[in-house]
Every structure is written in C-alpha cells, then in structure tokens.
C-alpha cells in the first residue's frame, strides 16, 4: 500500500529519514555547509527565540544550550517527534507541532528573535507569514532567515521538484517562495520591517548554489 503524502506536512514527514542520531549542535548554521557563513552572532543576544521549521532542531538546541529560551514550531509530526527525542536533555527548548501561521495566530507571546533556516519561511507565502511574524516580534525584534540561492529567473512561488528529498514517493506539489535580495527587501518593507540586510553567502564549490541570508528588524 502506498504511503504517499497528501499534504505538505506529510511530505515533510519524509524529510531525511536516514537521520537516526542527533546531529552535532556546536554552531548555529545558516547554510547547511559546515563552517560556512556567519553563526549565531547575527542574532544578537536574545532572551527568547522562535524557530519556524526546525526539522531535526540543531539550531534551536544550540541556542537553548547557550541560555536562550527557544520554541521551535514544525507542522511535520515526524520531524517534531524526532527533534523531541534528540534534544530531550536540553533545557529551555520546546518543540511544538503546529503549522506556523496557525501557531502565530494563537500563541500571543512576543519573541526577541524569529528565525528560519531553510525552513518554513521558504515554504510559506510571505504575504501570509510576514504580518503574523511582525505581530509576534517584540519591538526592535529581529527576523532572520536563509534559503538556497534561487536559480536566476525562478522567483516567487516555485513548484518543488519530486526528486529533491530522499525517501519521497509522491509527486505532490509543494511550493517554495524564493526571491532575490532586492525582492525580499521590498516584501519586508511592505510588512513594516526595516534595517534590512539581504545577500548571498557563496558556496565554496563555485558550481553550486549559495545561501541567501536575510535579516530585518521591527522598529523599537
């Protein structure tokens, strides 16, 4: 019997099934390439942080171990359970099973930092997500996210191909929203953010795509 996903959350249940042991969490990683790009320092010194789309959760674990109170929200039941198992010994870290927009509508806490590394910001319509993030960031709070550098010309909502994820057995269409640094800046400004930085961290392999890294703040 096929176990093909019928929803985006089920699609993400099949993300990296081979990862059975918890990954290292010795550095905050924006790029997915060990040692490449900046680390946690671009987040400043928050007391609280919200991770949108943590999957295995190593960035959330890294921050929690350094004393930040972290909530990490993922709509994949499998990813959430796996992360809870990996990091059960880390204090101040809560893995929550919820869709990000629904969570942001219902949970009224204000966060010093909201971030997403190749996570739900890449896979959610920014016109739905950004106003909700703006409502749940503390005044002066920082929003930061990364995703793979887009292929030139492939901007806005793009269909994610079926072969990208190991273990997938379906052609369910899942979208990812990718933009140039300038397009992200314009979108963020429209939703009330300022102090925006957006640039590509190059991949050390010149033939491979880099990582687009964006930061923005709410007015204090």
Ligand X SMILES: C[S@@+](CC[C@H](N)C(=O)[O-])C[C@H]1O[C@@H](n2cnc3c(N)ncnc32)[C@H](O)[C@@H]1O
133 binds ligand X (CB under 6 A): no
Q: CB-wise, 46 or 54, nearer to ligand X?
A: 54
> What tokens were used for 61?
């674990």
Q: CB-wise, 69 or 74, nearer to ligand X?
A: 74
By rule CB under 6 A, what count of residues binds ligand X? 18
Number of Cβ atoms within 10 Å of the Cβ of 171: 9
Please pick, from the candidates 79, 185, 211, 215, the single residue that binds ligand X as defined by CB under 6 A.
79
Query: Could you give the CA distance from residue 82 to residue 21 in angstroms, rounded to a whole number?
Result: 9
Who contacts 3 (Cβ-Cβ below 8 Å, separation ≥6)? 169
Please pick, from the candidates 43, 100, 113, 142, the single residue that binds ligand X as defined by CB under 6 A.
100
Q: How far is the CB of 220 from ligand X (least distance, A)?
A: 28
Q: How far is the CB of 114 from ligand X (least distance, A)?
A: 12
Give exposure, 103-141, as e/b (b: 16+ Cβ within 10 Å): bbeeeeeebbbbbbbbbbbbbbebeebbebbbebbbeeb
Closest residue to ligand X: CB criterion: 53
Q: Compute φ and ψ for 49, nearest 5 degrees.
A: -145, 145
Contact positions vs ligand X (CB under 6 A): 12, 15, 53-55, 73-76, 79, 99-100, 117-120, 123-124
């Amino acid at each position: 019997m096929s176990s093909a996903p019928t929803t985006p959350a089920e699609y993400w249940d099949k993300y990296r099934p081979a990862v059975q042991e918890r990954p290292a969490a010795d550095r905050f990683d924006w790029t997915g390439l060990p040692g490449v790009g900046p680390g946690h320092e671009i987040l400043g010194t928050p007391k609280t942080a919200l991770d949108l789309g943590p999957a295995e959760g190593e960035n959330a674990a890294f921050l929690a171990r350094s004393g930040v109170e972290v909530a990490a929200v993922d709509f994949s039941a499998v990813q959430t359970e796996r992360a809870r198992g990996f990091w059960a010994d880390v204090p101040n870290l809560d893995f929550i099973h919820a869709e990000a927009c629904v969570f942001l509508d219902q949970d009224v806490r204000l966060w010093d930092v909201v971030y997403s590394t190749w996570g739900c910001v890449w896979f959610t319509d920014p016109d739905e997500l950004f106003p909700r993030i703006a409502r749940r960031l503390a005044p002066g709070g920082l929003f930061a996210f990364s995703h793979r550098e887009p292929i030139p010309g492939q901007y806005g909502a793009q269909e994610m191909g079926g072969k990208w994820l190991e273990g997938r057995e379906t052609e369910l269409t899942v979208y990812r929203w990718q933009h140039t640094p300038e397009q992200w800046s314009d979108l963020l400004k429209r939703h009330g953010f300022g102090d925006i930085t957006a640039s590509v961290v190059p991949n050390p392999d010149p033939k491979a795509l880099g990582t687009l890294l964006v930061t923005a703040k709410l007015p204090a």
